Structures are given as structure tokens and as C-alpha cells.
Structure 1
């Protein structure tokens, strides 16, 4: 069953909370998670800030009991009430119980009503066991409660915990390439761009067993697409069928209805952004810098791991004619709070402006390019299905390696991978190899305007 309510940490915040809750003395400790939300229909809570309750200020810290001062709750309210953010009070269970105790139940009945008296319609509590696993539950003002279906951590590794698992159930993750489907069935994946590379990624993701695949692409099928888009047919090209509808129908034929959700919109639109915000994992398979920039910002704002794939076949002029210089592919993994695609130089304000000019005024673009006003503008040669297949496979394998680690090297060393087929070379870069620019939209969720960009603000109300 797919997770309808989720709580997501960045890897950095999860480490901070775990180190604070487990200082090594075997006693309970506490913190407050200050969370933003998505607009729905799915409820995704995103940990944006963390308040760590000082150990020394707790009047009682024992292996199974904890009393901490109310001023830290008041401080959390002060931080969260301006934007009506959800507060989740989290404490440790040093004994390893992956469930809420009767003492936890009693504490919630005392503390949560005072919290709702200050503000909000949704707050909750959570526990963390020594291995870092988190279970959470939410309350409404009338003290009705529900379990958070899934807790995830988006860091160098991807971690997921089923909130509905029995307290005594083993929490070992499936082995890579083994029985991954039951866990993947709880997750939603967004595929941005369902063309040459994207159709192959979508096919793999659907067959791996993701509970839902959100397909985002505004384009329609044409005859020229048939040589590289999986599942496409002559009829699709003749009728200019939307690519997402074609792919959704193909997925339905072997996974059943409802698994694929077609969104015939640009990712650079409010509709596309909100559709992607519902995902647990995002694959970016596009050929424009603007689309990559938007995906980059969605990953940061909504705490979604981003897997970006690109291919290029540069050519050179030789006396005997044009020759292939190289056949290359690139996979970037972006974790929220880490280096972005912008930090890695994949796009810049100048390259975005050059692309916009090319799309809107190709004649002027060509003139400036010849005059040298636009430098370093790259034009990618059309790719072929063999190269797309390799790149798409590498992209999905990157996800598997992070969710179900199997590499000998640590995942932190593989933020970017580049491969060449002519020179037969492979290079990798760690996230720390890139300068990280402070990113103010990390974890901001659906705060308006979306992604901090005015053009994606709420629709203007029509006056009668």
C-alpha cells in the first residue's frame, strides 16, 4: 500500500537529531522538528528546522523517562506559528522499542492540547531508536491521531521506515536486486521528461515496482520520436498522442490502472511543480537547462532526491568530414541541502539566458553567438537508443545503490558520474568536490510563491 502521509529529513538534519538524542549516556533526550507541508492531495511533512532541547536543561533524563522544560516548546511555537508549520516532538528510545509506549501516550494527551491552544491544526510526536529509525504520529485539535505511513531520510544513502510495521518486526532493508518491490510499492517516483532517456527510465521504474509513477511532459509524439521512445507506435505518431498518455497506457498494460499518472504539462509550470512535489524520488530526463533548473529547485524545496541524466555526442570537423569526438553520459545525484546542479556548473544565469534567447529568438541567438557575446553555449547532438539505454540504466542503478547500498565505495563519493564510450573512461566526483552555495528554499515546501519564483505564485483570482 502506498504511503499517504510521510515525514522527510535531509541527511544532515537526521544526523544532527540522532547525535543529540543519543549522546552516549543511555538516557532519553528530546528535540522538536519544525515542518512545512506540500499542498496535497498527499500529506508530506518536510523537516525544515530542528530545535535540540539541551540535555542539561531537562529535569529528568533516564533510560525510559524524560522531562524537559516547557520553554523549549514555547520557543518552537514562536518559530513555527508565523507560517503555521507543523511541530513534531521527537525523543529517543534507548532500549530500541520501535513503538510508542504507554508513557508516550499519556504525555501526548497532556502536551499536545497545550500546543493546539497556541496554533495549528496538525502536530505530532515521534520516537527514534538507536539505529536511527523513526516512527511518527499526527494529532488533530480534537486529539484524533494517525500514524505517519513513511519516514524517509534523503542523504548520501536513502532510508525509509514503514510507520505501520509491528514493533517487533525486523527493520532490515531488502537486499539490492532482491525483494525490493514491497518497499518500492509504498513510494512514488516522478519522471520529468518522457522521451528518449525518460521513457526508458519510466519503464524501469514501473517494472521495479514503484507504487506510482508520475509522468511529466508537455510534448506530443511525432514520427521522428519512434526510433528512441519505448512503447511508442505509428498510431501514436499519427495522432500526436501526448507522450505521457502513451507511456501511462503502456505501464497500465503490465502494472494495472492507476500506477502511472500522466501530467501533460511542462515542469516549468505550477501544475508540473505541484505534481512533482508529491513524489518520494525524482528522475530528471530533460534536454533544456530551464527544466533542469526547475527540477533542481523542486528537489531542494520539497526534500526529494534528484537523479539527473544527460547524454551528448560531440562531433569534430576533420579533413575527411565530420567525425564523432566522443559518446558520453552523465548522472548527477542531488541531495537536498547538498550541492545543486547549479553549484556543479550544469547551468548558470548566462546559459539560462542564452537558452531562452535560442528558444525565443533563434536568429538573434545565432548572430550573437557568431559575434562572441554568448560563450560556452553547448548544443547536444541527437542521441540514439543504445546510448540512452546505457544512461537510463546507470540513472536507475544510482537510485538502487543509494536505497539498497551495494557498491564497495561509499555513496558519498558518487555525487556525479561521467562515462565515455569512445575513450572507455569513467570518472566520479563527491559532493564535497563542489562549492555549496547557501540555499534558502531547502525544505520550504509549498510556501508561496512556489520555489521562491514569482511566476509560479498562486493563480490570480478572477473578479466577477
Structure 2
């Protein structure tokens, strides 16, 4: 849910008189590869006479009829939400279970989606569960692993039984001393996705691992090439021809820094089904891409599924006579609900994303006619600049989670020539923004429209597969030749 929705819940449900209260809300389903998320987008508070508060709380049929009618008209799922006079992740009393068991079949019959039950404690700590139909007359409760509140900051509430805390040893002593065990347990259980494992993404991934994150998803369809060796962290000549995500996964697992480290290497584009589903399994995404289409896709996915995206980019130019660098700037920002989108920030143009979809940017004849300063012709970058940008992206990430002294900052841009860091940028979209206003909370309703065929990604996977086959054939030929030579030598 967004911070604004969370505020509405808290002000209604946490009563000054200490009694419990309730309300209903609506959600859309967001489907990743390994998890499903209920994205809450609207609240319907009870009006006078809709419920009875008497220490405990109950609602009447007229209120529920209003809820089901609205859900049916708008294709929403239904959340039943109530408060408990205790802190922390809440269990359920016998009455709680019976109430939600009674609601589950009615909600399923009207919406076709499972009931989501939610409870908020006095400390604003959330717990949640899905009620899934197992047989015609049986609904089973499945606890959620977490509840996320997204806005200027990200606050995540974890179910310890499903997602237990990590035991950090001496190797993380200095990291934990910076912000304490409580924050370290929150940070370490976040599911982080990095889209693009180039010069910036590989450094970000390194920093994420060494911050204690134990669940990391790497999304990139590119293969390691000779031209990458001066910019990719810890890449060697022996890695040429391998997927970038596979090389980095193997390297990180060898660090043995985190005993329960899980890395998902996804050799697909964010615009392909496999890449999108992997991204939707994440709590935060890093956008380390340099093309308009993946930025557009991440922009839409962020607002539709309430997933913060930390994006950055580098712009450099040499002097005309190539005698020195002329200028260099790099910019980073966090986009998502209650923040600005990448389009309003000017990180890409919709027409360029459409051009990429058309396939013209893969057409050498078309590219030949583009001006020299077109983004497709600008590949200048150096490892030092990538290092600085990656550092600024990690700062955005830590600020989003830690919110030190209650401060949240927006976009920042480094001017290499002057050494200044500019921060006077807008951090809210235009009121008529089609992304932040039109897509907020749409979830799966939008997600499937962003999936497109990606020829470059398909070609790389085919090239990689052929390379493996050729190596196997070469190995068999070498073995056969050595066997024949050995036979004749005998």
C-alpha cells in the first residue's frame, strides 16, 4: 500500500479509546514468478451505522453489500482489515478466524479472488493473510511473508515464522554498528532486483551483497564481450561469451559472506515475461539500464505494482578534437508511488521507447541516419564514473530504508567539471501524469501489456546455447582424437 493509504488506515483503526475497529479495502493482484502480491489501491471506510464498536467490533450486511458491489463494478479483490490492541505481527483469535472464514467464500464468489485479511497493531505493525479455496467447501489461511508500505520511504513488516531473521556474525559487526540490529534485520530480508549488470549494475550488486541482503535477483540478457572488460567489476577474459548474470552469480556465491544467500540469475529482458515476473518478486528494483524501453517498462511497473525503482544515468562528452573530456554528469533518483516518475523527470522520451519497440534501433541503416548526439550513438563512459553513480544509487537505497532523522531526499546530480552535487529537482509528477496517476495500483491489469518480443535477448540466448554446444562437440572431438592417438601409440 502507499503511505497515504496507510495513513488513512492508521487514523481510522487506531482509536483513542483503545477499542478495536474495522474497515474494508480493495486490491489488484500482482503476479510474479514465485509470489503473488495484493496491491491495495482504495479504501472504503464505514459510515454511521455500518459497524458496531463494543470493545470488539462487528459490521452489518449493508456495509458488506456496498463493498461487494463496488468490488464487482471495478474488478477488485477485497481486503477485510481490523485492529488489535497489541503491538507487532498479530496472530488471530478464534473469533477472527471464524469471521474471515465466513467472508472468504462470499468474497471469492463475487470477485473470483481470495479474501485478504489484515490486522494492524497499536504500533502500526501490519500482518496479512490470503484465504485460498482448497476444495469446494474448504478455505485455508496462508500467511503473507511481508506487508510493504511504499512512498517517500519504504517500510516492510515481516512474518518471522515465514521469513526468519538472519544470524549475522563478526563479518557484519561494523555494518550493524552503523544502524543497529533492528534495521539490519529489515534490510537483510528485502528482496532486491538489479536490472542491467553492466558497469553500474555490477558495482551495485557488489554493494548490496556486502550490506547483508540475502535475496538478490539479477536481470540482464547481455553476454560478456571484449569491450566490457574495462568497465565490468571482476570480469576476466575467460568470461567472454558467458551471460553477465551467470558470471556475477557464481562470483557472489564464492564469497561465502552470507550462509543463506539466494541469487536468481535471469538472462532475459525486463520486457520479456521471464524478466518481468522475476522483477515482480522483488521489493526494490535498481534500474541500471541505458535504453528508453526498459526505463519505460520499469517506470510503469513501479507505479502499477508499488515497487520503488532506483534509477541512474551517466552523460559524458569528449572534446571535438578528443584532446580531453568536455563534460560529464551523472544523476540518480528513486521513483515510485508518491514520488516522481522517470518520464516527468526527463530520463527518457516516450517516442524513443516507441522507436525501440518498432525495432528500428536494431536497423543499421536507420541508425546510420541518426544525429551524432542521439542516445543510441553515445557509449562514452569510464569505470570511475560508474563507481560514483553506483555509490549514489546505494545512498538512495539506504536513505529510502533508513530515513535518518526523518529526512527523505529526491533526485541528485553530480557535475564532474565543478564537483557540485545538484539537488534542486522536482520530486512529484504533473497532476495529469499518465504514469503516476493513470497506472497507480493497476498491477496485473497493466503488467501483461508491457510484455513484448525482444529479438536481441533471443539472439543472445541462442548464441550462448550454440557456444555451449560447440564447446561440448570440441571436447568430444579432443577426447576422440586423444583416444585414437593413444591406441596407435600402444
Please give the range of the TM-score, normalised by the shorter of the 2 chains. 0.7 to 0.9
SS at match of 2:129: strand
The 8 Å contact of residues 107 and 114 in structure 2, kept in 1 or not, is answered as no
TM-aligned CA distance change 1:257 to 1:58, over 3 Å: closer
Give 1:27 deviation, angstroms. 4.1
The 8 Å contact of residues 220 and 267 in structure 2, kept in 1 or not, is answered as yes
The 8 Å contact of residues 313 and 330 in structure 2, kept in 1 or not, is answered as yes
The 8 Å contact of residues 293 and 352 in structure 2, kept in 1 or not, is answered as no
Per the alignment, residue 395 of structure 1 pairs with 393
Consecutive unaligned residues of structure 1, counting only runs of 5 or more, are 1-8, 457-464
Given candidates 180, 183, 187, the residue that maps to 2:186 is 183
Give 1:431 deviation, angstroms. 5.3
The 8 Å contact of residues 81 and 120 in structure 1, kept in 2 or not, is answered as no
CA distance in 1 between partners of 2:205 and 2:417 (Å): 27
The 8 Å contact of residues 35 and 45 in structure 1, kept in 2 or not, is answered as no
TM-aligned CA distance change 1:368 to 1:432, over 3 Å: closer
CA distance in 1 between partners of 2:417 and 2:288 (Å): 23
**Which of the two has higher C-alpha Rg?**
2
TM-aligned CA distance change 1:43 to 1:378, over 3 Å: closer
Per the alignment, residue 430 of structure 2 pairs with 435
Greater shift in the superposed pair: 240-249 or 48-57: 48-57
CA distance in 1 between partners of 2:370 and 2:222 (Å): 29
SS at match of 1:279: coil
CA distance in 1 between partners of 2:269 and 2:236 (Å): 23
Per the alignment, residue 20 of structure 1 pairs with 12
Count the aligned residue pairs: 430
CA distance in 2 between partners of 1:287 and 1:454 (Å): 19
Confirm or deny that 1:303 pairs with 2:321: no
Higher helix proportion (structure 1 or 2): 2
Give 1:425 deviation, angstroms. 0.9
Per the alignment, residue 215 of structure 2 pairs with 212
Per the alignment, residue 153 of structure 1 pairs with 149
Consecutive unaligned residues of structure 2, counting only runs of 5 or more, are 166-175, 454-490
CA distance in 1 between partners of 2:375 and 2:277 (Å): 30
* Equivalent residues in 2 for 1:11-410, closer than 5 Å: 11-22=3-14, 24=16, 26-62=18-54, 64-81=55-72, 85-94=76-85, 96=87, 98-99=89-90, 100-120=92-112, 122-141=114-133, 142-164=138-160, 177-179=179-181, 180-237=183-240, 240-255=241-256, 259-317=262-320, 322-336=323-337, 338-353=339-354, 359-367=361-369, 369=371, 380-406=378-404, 410=407
Confirm or deny that 1:421 pairs with 2:416: yes
TM-aligned CA distance change 1:316 to 1:22, over 3 Å: farther
CA distance in 2 between partners of 1:127 and 1:391 (Å): 40
The 8 Å contact of residues 214 and 275 in structure 1, kept in 2 or not, is answered as yes
CA distance in 1 between partners of 2:178 and 2:156 (Å): 14
Per the alignment, residue 447 of structure 2 pairs with 450
The 8 Å contact of residues 147 and 164 in structure 1, kept in 2 or not, is answered as no
CA distance in 2 between partners of 1:126 and 1:68 (Å): 16
The 8 Å contact of residues 28 and 94 in structure 1, kept in 2 or not, is answered as yes
TM-aligned CA distance change 1:357 to 1:422, over 3 Å: farther
Give 1:295 deviation, angstroms. 1.2
CA distance in 1 between partners of 2:323 and 2:400 (Å): 40
TM-aligned CA distance change 1:258 to 1:210, over 3 Å: closer
Give 1:291 deviation, angstroms. 1.4
SS at match of 1:326: strand
SS at match of 2:127: strand
TM-aligned CA distance change 1:453 to 1:114, over 3 Å: closer
Q: For the aligned residues, what is the CA RMSD?
A: 3.2
The 8 Å contact of residues 39 and 443 in structure 2, kept in 1 or not, is answered as no
CA distance in 2 between partners of 1:359 and 1:453 (Å): 18
The 8 Å contact of residues 337 and 442 in structure 1, kept in 2 or not, is answered as no
CA distance in 1 between partners of 2:276 and 2:382 (Å): 29
TM-aligned CA distance change 1:315 to 1:131, over 3 Å: farther
